[in-house]
Amino acid sequence: MRQEAIYSTRLNDEYVKIEHDSGLTMLLCPMKGFSTSFALFSTEYGSIDVSFKTDKEDDFVTVPAGIAHYLEHKLFESEDKDAFERYAKTGASANAYTSFDKTAYLFGCSENFKESLEILLDFVTSPYFTEQTVQKEQGIIGQEIRMYDDDPQWRVMVNLLEAVYKNNPVKTDIAGTVESIAQINADLLYRCYNTFYNLNNMVLTIAGNFEVADVLEVADKILKKSDDVKVIRMPIDEPEDVCKKYVEANLPVSMPLFNIGIKHKPSDKTQNAKVQLIDEMILDVIAGEVSPLYRRLYDSGLINSSFAAESFVGRDYVMSLFAGESKNPDEVYRQIMAEIERAKSEGIDKERFNIAKKSLYGKYLSAFSTPEGVASMMQAAHMYNFEMYSMLDEIASVSLDDAQNRLNTAFDTEKSVLSVVKSK
């Protein structure tokens, strides 16, 4: 077992990185003065991982869409009782989520930390699938899929991704489709589990009121050594252009919803995470609440307080996203594209850039104030191959020239899509 302290001179703070004998990486940050703890047990496995193999296998396997999310649901069950029943005895609040590129199991608690951690490590490393229980889940997840199909906020986003991407699996709903999940069986679940839930592909991040010695005691008790299996993902052949510029769906809404996406070319995952920080500054300058564009759109009634812009980034995809409600989404789209072109030709305003940079720094700095924020930051940084504290260093190092360069080279308005959901 290897252990090292990761220290930040900027924050005068530290956390502990432990490479456990089982193969699991543990990032542990005890926080004095807090009464609660928050833990995340995560694997770098999400909905986009549909074609893969290990370094021990010759051929790639392609699995049905939605299987990562399906597996997340099934892991809570065991032969005796499900994990939520066990957590009810410790008083911990537990949950899980599947995103496009990761799956995480989590709990928060103010007491019985060791017992809750033991439950977490135990059920995630003890899969129990039978054909009968797998088939039972198909109806439950099928209902969930149909429910999201009728959700305007989700539909406008999924439609955008389908219009932006041709081959990237990010275009497919995280839960899959009713047809794809019907193909899932116990053997496929075990195949995916044994590939991606190898402890060498996972990370445990904990922050708050706990003792490192207690974590090691529980880990030594529960975790068994894993063979160091490397996951190889099928490369994604994605063209740089978008599939179509406009997509529309009809659902009952009081005002049309819109998503606007600008497709960027992804790099390796560490570089993707770095450009996300720059893109967030650019988006704040272009369309943040203090920007001239935002004031024009808001004052003219073209947007309301629901409007927001964000950088949508993962392991194999990068996109800038604008979202909100508008009586005239086409005009909002036109004005956003015009503002991007104006900033490219006239240059980013230095004062607005500095405000956006300080705002982003403050946003990330505030995440260090809660156990949940710290555990989530450690997880995200680890998944992108850098240390948590370096996020602040990266933000501080971004210059106006860096932002202008990124805007000029990556924000191609020809690679933009407008997705709208409105009533018939």
In a domain, 82, yes or no: yes
In a domain, 318, yes or no: yes
> How many domains are there within the chain?
2
| 286 and 380 in a common domain | yes
The owner of tokens 């940084």 is: 381
| 281 and 157 in a common domain | no
| 145 and 223 in a common domain | yes
Q: Among 205, 233, 261, where does a domain finish? A: 233
| 259 and 180 in a common domain | no
| 208 and 70 in a common domain | yes
| 287 and 389 in a common domain | yes
In a domain, 221, yes or no: yes
Grouping H, G, I as helix, E, B as strand and the rest as coil, residue 303 is: coil
Q: What's residue 125's pLDDT? A: 96
In a domain, 172, yes or no: yes
| 357 and 223 in a common domain | no
pTM as predicted: 0.94
Q: Which domain holds residue 85?
A: 2-233
CA 65 vs CA 50, 69, 180, 181, 316: distances in Å: 7, 9, 6, 7, 17
In a domain, 239, yes or no: no
* Catalytic residue status for 72: yes
CA 109 vs CA 97, 123, 408: distances in Å: 18, 17, 47
Q: Catalytic one among 4, 14, 57, 72?
A: 72
Grouping H, G, I as helix, E, B as strand and the rest as coil, residue 211 is: coil
DSSP H helices in 150-268: 152-164, 178-181, 186-196, 212-222
Query: Could you tell me the mean pLDDT of each successive run of 10 residues in the chain, 424 residues long?
Result: 92 95 97 96 97 93 95 88 92 97 97 97 94 82 85 95 97 92 93 96 97 98 93 95 97 96 96 96 97 97 97 96 98 98 97 97 95 97 93 95 98 98 93
| 191 and 126 in a common domain | yes
In a domain, 240, yes or no: no
| 318 and 266 in a common domain | yes
| 125 and 97 in a common domain | yes
Token code pair at residue 207: 């922050």
| 208 and 313 in a common domain | no
Q: What's residue 211's pLDDT? A: 97
The CATH number assigned to the domain holding 113 equals 3.30.830.10
| 286 and 146 in a common domain | no
